[in-house]
């Protein structure tokens, strides 16, 4: 997540510069063939290009709205998880008389958050963080889940026997919540919890399962590939045809200008087409970078920072003073 006032123009231009190079070439080739080689038939009616541009604007706009909704839903889910985590810490302290059991429940919850955020950072085929422009930008910030192994992080919160059992399973987060439920049942059976406290904590376990499933739904179900494919295809077609549609329009301007540019107005197609096409390709690239809010991109939901904030809160509930530091942005990016 970018926490600065805004992305700087040089950053954005550097991020999109590969598209700019391609667009310059797409503009130069038809102008050169039209102006220098004399292939006047290359100029196509502007109306056809304008219609394609309108359709492209609609599909790109639709995509950006939907990808933003995915990111916003992910932020809501993890915002709720922060609240449920604090409630879990408070219940664990106030309902359970044994301090050791309270610590077990809270530390196991931190292990659950850790397993879940690592699961969210796993790579999927449809994610775009590995594309060259994103991989290059990723050098400006750090992804905590790529710096430390899951086993090392979980070892901070789980005893060896539980750690070994959890690591041997497929969905580690689910198994950790199952351990929480088992412990709560044992506390109830030993009469350390009254029935209302037991019901409240089991309800909290259910809510954690539901929020985990909601987070996994966004992670495991991509933005529909048919819409992503059509959007990218339309943008490419529009950028390809735009210079051809502008050739005759700018050629007509030669009749109304004098001086150095007379007879050469067609060359203005290059900068104008680059500027217009760059608008479309940038919108497409921004939408693409917003599709997957957990992939480790600069626009991700900051789940690592949120989990660190929860850890500090819950360990303070336990009365601990040796607390980890809050995650700080690097180049205005924090994950």
Q: Write down the pLDDT at residue 233.
A: 93
pTM for this predicted structure: 0.90
**Tens of pLDDT, residues 2-52:** 887 788 888 888 888 899 999 999 999 998 998 888 888 888 888 889 999
**Tens of pLDDT, residues 38-55:** 888 888 888 889 999 999
pLDDT at 87 over 70: yes
**Residue 182's CB: how many other CB atoms inside 10 A?**
10
CA distance 207 to 190: 24
Q: What is the mean pLDDT of the chain?
A: 90
Cα distances (angstroms) measured from residue 226 to each of 63, 64, 294, 326 = 11, 14, 21, 40
Q: What is the mean pLDDT of residues 297-318?
A: 92
Q: Write down the pLDDT at residue 257.
A: 64
Q: Are 105 and 295 in contact (CB under 8 A)?
A: no
Burial class of residue 85, CB neighbours in 10 A (0-12, 13-18, 19+): buried
Q: What is the mean pLDDT of residues 209-226?
A: 93
Q: What is the DSSP-derived secondary structure letter of residue 139?
A: G
Q: Write down the pLDDT at residue 261.
A: 64
- For residue 160, how many C-alpha atoms fall within 13 Å in the half-sphere facing its CB? 0
Entry field: residues in the chain: 335
Q: For 312-327, what is the HEC assignment?
A: HHHHHHCCCCCCCCCC
């Amino acid at each position: 997540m970018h926490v600065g006032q805004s992305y700087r123009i040089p950053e954005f231009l550097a991020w999109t510069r590969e598209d700019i190079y391609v667009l310059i070439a797409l503009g130069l080739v038809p102008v050169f063939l039209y102006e220098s080689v004399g292939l006047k038939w290359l100029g196509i009616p502007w109306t056809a290009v304008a219609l394609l541009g309108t359709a492209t604007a609609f599909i790109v706009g639709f995509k950006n709205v939907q990808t933003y909704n995915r990111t916003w839903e992910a932020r809501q889910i993890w915002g709720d998880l922060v609240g449920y985590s604090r409630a879990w810490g408070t219940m664990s302290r106030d309902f359970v008389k044994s301090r050791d059991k309270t610590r077990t429940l809270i530390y196991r919850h931190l292990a659950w958050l850790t397993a879940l955020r690592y699961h969210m950072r796993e790579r999927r085929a449809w994610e775009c963080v590995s594309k060259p422009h994103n991989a290059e930008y990723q050098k400006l910030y750090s992804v905590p889940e790529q710096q430390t192994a899951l086993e090392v992080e979980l070892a901070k919160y789980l005893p060896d026997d539980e750690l070994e059992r959890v690591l041997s399973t497929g969905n580690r987060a689910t198994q950790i919540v199952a351990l929480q439920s088992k412990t709560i049942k044992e506390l109830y059976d030993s009469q350390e919890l009254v029935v209302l406290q037991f019901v409240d904590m089991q309800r909290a376990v259910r809510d954690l399962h539901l929020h985990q499933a909601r987070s996994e739904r966004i992670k495991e179900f991509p933005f529909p590939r048919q819409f992503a494919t059509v959007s990218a295809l339309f943008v490419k077609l529009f950028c390809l045809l735009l210079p051809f549609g502008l050739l005759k329009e700018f050629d007509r301007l030669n009749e109304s200008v004098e001086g150095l540019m007379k007879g050469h107005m067609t060359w203005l197609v290059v900068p104008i087409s680059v500027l217009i096409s760059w608008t479309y390709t940038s919108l497409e690239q921004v939408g693409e970078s917003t599709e997957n809010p957990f992939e480790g991109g600069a626009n991700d939901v900051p789940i690592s920072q949120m989990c660190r904030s929860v850890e500090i809160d819950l360990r303070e509930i336990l009365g601990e003073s040796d607390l980890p530091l809050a995650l700080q942005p690097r180049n205005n990016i924090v994950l």
